[in-house]
Amino acid sequence: MTNGKPGRMPVGHVIFRVLLGSLVVSLVVAALVLVVLHGASELAAGRLAWGSVENWALPW
């Protein structure tokens, strides 16, 4: 319960919420970047590996 109408939210609340919102967004972006990089690196590694073996002469 409050006595009368509460005024504006303190600036401390705003600062912390902006910081934590930024944290959430940056974590999501970081996760996406990691997923993309991870996928790309796997793809590159696969291609590299395939490139090295595709011309191998089989013993038979």
Contact residues for other proteins, defined by CB under 8 A: 1-4, 6-10, 12-13, 16-21, 23-25, 27-28, 31
Residue 49 CB, nearest approach to other proteins (Å): 23
3 is written with which tokens? 């006595």
CB of 13 or CB of 47, closer to other proteins: 13
Residue 9 CB, nearest approach to other proteins (Å): 7
What is the distance between the alpha carbons of residues 20 and 26, in angstroms, rounded to a whole number?
10
What is the distance between the alpha carbons of residues 56 and 60, in angstroms, rounded to a whole number?
11
